[in-house]
Amino acid sequence: MKPHWRWFLGGLAAALAIVVLALLFAAYQMPELLIDWANLNYCS
Amino acid sequence: MNPAPNSWRTPTAILIAGCVILTLSMGVRHTAGLFLQPMTVDHGWSRETFSFAIALQNLVWGLASPFAGALADRYGAGRTVAAAAVLYAIGLGLMAYADAPLAFDLSAGVLIGLGLSGTTFAVIMGVIGRHTTPEKRSLALGIASAGGSFGQFAVLPVGQMMITAYGWQSALLLLACGVGLIAPLANALADGHRPSAGAGQSVGQALREAGGQRSFHYLFWGYFVCGFQTAFIMLHLPAFLVDAGLSANVGMTAVALIGLFNILGSFLFGWGGGCYSKKNLLVLIYAARAVAILVFMLIPLSTASAWLFAAAMGILWLGTVPLTNGLVAQIFGLRYMSMLTGVVFLGHQLGSFLGAWLGGRIFDETGSYSLAWGIAIGLSVLAALCSAPIDERPLARAGGAA
């Protein structure tokens, strides 16, 4: 694989990873999860 | 160390399979708490009934880890992981239909605990460790730890979405299907490792040798402290913040920050272990945890301080995993790495059990978490002091057994 393609695909993967992590982080703000967080106090 | 020529089980393939297995296994395990409310309400159980089974799961996980490691060392990681994945999936499936506390203890407690022992760090780190060069081993273990950390961070909201969309029973069956994917993935870990078939150390000799080394005990008790702190903070930090007048949203964001920064920390300390002394990095982690908790206790509590503390602890969270596992491989060799890391992991689980339980007990007795935070600081200092004298040199053996 040519170096510029390697850089492109690496950058794409990094960008996708950041988007996925940001979406997951946002998912933690779900009201259902907030309510059920109390459960984890007992048995995480 | 390396696969046979033309084998598709390259070190990269094994590392990727190990990461995915850890993501699934650690991630699904992390969702257990989400089922407390719906299951106890539907079955009319007390919260103690549910939490006892999960506490049992943690103990079985820790107690079975050395045996799972020994099985992986004796019969191969592929078979051990596949068998454990089947037990894990059956445990989740039976958990969905358990309508009596005993059935729940056996499914959620014993079966899932056994499944976890064969699909998590002890076995996976052993096979990854065998397929990487000493220079790259710590980095590879760090990437695998980051996979487990990502699972903990990612699967929790997914599990909650499943419960919301399909109900808790279907969510458990869907998670069982997810865990079932581990069984075919385990094929990538079937590397034909058969140490016991050849000449050299027996299992008993390896255990006696490790038990006779101070460094092994230091690693065990350091990991005990790690388990104590992570269990205590993950369980009690949100309640601590809410008690102090902050909103539940702040507690949830703190948990998300721990998960997010844990991915980064696992990778960074794994990488660092390949460049610097692993025991010095362990000293740094435990000392930094003591400082972080102390500062968190001393400065006025606010949303910003809670989030900064969560981010700092996240960086330091599972960085101990690649370093501790890497030191076991470095000192005792790769032959019984899975079994010996399983023994050390037992210390982690005993600490987890104590941290989770003692935090609640102290709060019930004193009405505050102050003493528990104090114990966490003291233990951190002890763990740093314990890690400093670890002798990182490989053991010299007659015959040069690796």
CA distance B45 to B51: 11
Distance from CA of B254 to the nearest CA of A (A): 10
* 10-29 of A, contacting B, C-beta below 8 A: 20-21, 24-25, 27-29
Beta carbons of A40 and B51 less than 8 Å apart = no
Distance from CA of B139 to the nearest CA of A (A): 18
Distance from CA of B249 to the nearest CA of A (A): 7
Q: Any idea what the Cα angle at residue B29 is, between residues B15 and B115, rounded to 5°? A: 70
**Among the partner residues B50, B54, B255, nearest to A28 by beta-carbon distance:** B255
- Interchain CB contact of B45 with A (< 8 Å): no
Here the tokens at position B144 are 């695998």
Q: Tell me if B13 sits within 8 A of B186, measured CB to CB.
A: no
Question: What percentage of residues in chain B have a pLDDT greater than 90?
Answer: 55
* Residue B357 vs residues A44, B351, B363: alpha-carbon distances, Å: 12, 10, 10
Q: What is the pLDDT of residue B122?
A: 87
Mean pLDDT, residues B240-257: 84
Of B374 and B73, more confident:
B374
CA distance A3 to B9: 26
> Residues B275-330: pLDDT tens digits?
999 999 999 999 999 999 999 999 999 999 999 999 999 999 999 999 999 999 99
Mean pLDDT, residues B127-149: 89
Mark B214-223 as b/e (b = at least 16 C-beta within 10 Å).
Answer: ebbbbbbbbb
Of B334 and B218, more confident:
B218
Cα B350 from chain centre = 12
Beta carbons of B260 and A21 less than 8 Å apart = yes
Q: What is the pLDDT of residue B305?
A: 95
Mean pLDDT, residues B343-366: 87
Q: What is the pLDDT of residue B40?
A: 85
Residues of B in contact with A19 (CB under 8 A): none
Q: What is the pLDDT along chain A (44 residues), one digit of tens a residue?
A: 777 888 888 888 888 888 888 888 888 877 666 666 655 555 44
Model confidence at B174, pLDDT cuts 50, 70, 90, reads very high
CA distance B129 to B131: 6
Residues of B in contact with A33 (CB under 8 A): 156-157, 160, 252
Residues of B in contact with A29 (CB under 8 A): 249, 252-253
**Among the partner residues A33, A39, A41, nearest to B157 by beta-carbon distance:** A33
Name, in order, each residue with C-beta under 8 angstroms of B332's C-beta and a sequence gap of 6 or more: B206, B209, B210, B213, B216, B340, B395
**Among the partner residues A37, A42, A43, nearest to B251 by beta-carbon distance:** A37
* Helix-strand-coil split of chain A, %, nearest 5: 85, 0, 15
Residues of A in contact with B251 (CB under 8 A): 37
Beta carbons of B252 and A34 less than 8 Å apart = yes
B171 has pLDDT over 60: yes
Cα B217 from chain centre = 19
Return the half-sphere exposure (C-beta side, CA atoms, 13 A cut-off) of residue B236.
25
Q: Any idea what the Cα angle at residue B355 is, between residues B80 and B306, rounded to 5°? A: 110
Beta carbons of A24 and B51 less than 8 Å apart = no
Model confidence at B194, pLDDT cuts 50, 70, 90, reads low
**Among the partner residues B51, B153, B248, nearest to A37 by beta-carbon distance:** B248
> Residues B95-105: pLDDT tens digits?
999 999 999 99
Average pLDDT, chain B: 89
Residues of B in contact with A23 (CB under 8 A): none
Residue B315: CB atoms within 10 Å: 22
B401 has pLDDT over 50: no
B155 has pLDDT over 60: yes
**Among the partner residues B33, B37, B253, nearest to A28 by beta-carbon distance:** B253
B193: left (phi over 0), alpha (psi -120 to 50) or beta: beta
Q: Any idea what the Cα angle at residue B262 is, between residues B256 and B265, rounded to 5°? A: 150
Q: What is the DSSP letter of B196?
A: G
* Closest to B296 (Cα-Cα) out of B369, B381, B223: B369
Question: What percentage of residues in chain B have a pLDDT greater than 70?
Answer: 95
Mean pLDDT, residues B159-179: 92
| CA nearest to B231 within chain A | A44
Name, in order, each residue with C-beta under 8 angstroms of B156's C-beta and a sequence gap of 6 or more: A28, A33, B27, B30, B31, B34, B259
Distance from CA of A14 to the nearest CA of B (A): 13
Q: What is the pLDDT of residue B252?
A: 81
Q: What is the pLDDT of residue B344?
A: 94
Here the tokens at position B318 are 């599972």
CA distance B82 to B95: 20
